[in-house]
């Protein structure tokens, strides 16, 4: 009667399991079990010698982006504007839903049009040059909250477009529409601010 695998493992690991003295004695007398124990050692040694597997791409940028997002959210919470951000998101949802009616066009046409609208809003935002303007704390907080949401949406869009199975056009369209709604609100924040200061 030879040793079972669990007995061989117990013998290898600690040697203090119940019955290990008998098992040890058996191995000393049984060539087959001694060879089995040696094969077990060899197998584990080979596993430990396997080369380390490496990631196919650098993920640090995504880690850093999520860390930045979390820090910004924490800052917003500390500033007590969580409620403001929530209210803004609800308004944006309604605006987005009303402005972007689905219509009867094919999803791909709607997707193209929505992406173009998003690009136009990007250009409008760049023309306003918000980074070079003096902004009050309230506006800065609302803008930062919107930027966070856009960054998060961009990550979701990137993931949806990169996925092997492929998101449906309807799913992509929904994400792009959400982006247009957020971009529209962000442009609006900066336009309103510019009008208030007569720029």
Partner 1 sequence: MPRALVVDSYLIDDAESVIARVRAGDPAALEVLYRSFETPVYNVARRICRTVEDAEDVLQETFLEVYRSIGQYRGDGSLWGWVRQVAASKALMRLRRNKYRDTDELHDEVHAFRKEDTPLRMDLEAALERLPEVSRAVVWLHDVEGYTHEEIAAMMGKTPSFSKSQLARAHVKLRRWLGEEAVA
| Least gap, CB of 30 to partner 1 (angstroms) | 11
Nearer to partner 1, 24 or 71 (CB): 71
| Least gap, CB of 93 to partner 1 (angstroms) | 27
Q: Cα separations (Å) of 183 from 57, 87, 136?
A: 30, 16, 20
Of residues 15 through 44, those in contact with partner 1 by CB under 8 A are 32, 35-36, 39-40, 43-44
Q: Give the DSSP per-residue string, 98-137.
A: HHS---SS-HHHHHHHHHHHHHHHHHHHHHH-GGGS---H
Interface pick for partner 1 out of 16, 29, 56, 132 (rule CB under 8 A): 56
Of residues 130 through 149, those in contact with partner 1 by CB under 8 A are none
- How many degrees, rounded to 5, is the angle at CA 17 between CA 15 and CA 23? 65
154 binds partner 1 (CB under 8 A): no
Q: CA-to-CA distance for 89 and 70, rounded, in angstroms? A: 18
Where on the chain is the footprint of partner 1 (CB under 8 A)?
4-6, 9-10, 32, 35-36, 39-40, 43-44, 46-50, 52-57, 59-60, 62-64, 66-68, 70-71
């Amino acid at each position: 009667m030879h040793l079972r695998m669990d007995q061989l493992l117990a013998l290898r690991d600690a040697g203090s399991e119940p019955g290990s003295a008998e098992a040890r004695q058996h191995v000393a007398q049984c060539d087959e079990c001694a060879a089995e124990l040696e094969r077990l050692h060899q197998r584990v040694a080979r596993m430990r010698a396997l080369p380390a597997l490496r990631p196919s791409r650098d993920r640090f940028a995504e880690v850093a982006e999520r860390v930045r997002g979390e820090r910004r959210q924490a800052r917003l919470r500390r500033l007590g504007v969580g409620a403001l951000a929530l209210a803004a998101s609800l308004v944006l949802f309604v605006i987005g839903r009303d402005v972007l009616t689905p219509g009867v066009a094919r999803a791909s046409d709607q997707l193209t049009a929505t992406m173009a609208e998003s690009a136009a809003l990007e250009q409008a935002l760049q023309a306003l040059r918000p980074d070079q303007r003096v902004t009050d704390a309230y506006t800065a907080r609302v803008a930062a909250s919107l930027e966070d949401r856009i960054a998060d949406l961009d990550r979701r869009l990137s993931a949806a477009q990169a996925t092997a199975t492929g998101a449906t056009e309807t799913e992509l369209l929904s994400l792009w529409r959400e982006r247009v709604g957020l971009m529209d609100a962000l442009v609006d924040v900066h336009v309103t601010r510019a009008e208030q200061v007569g720029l």
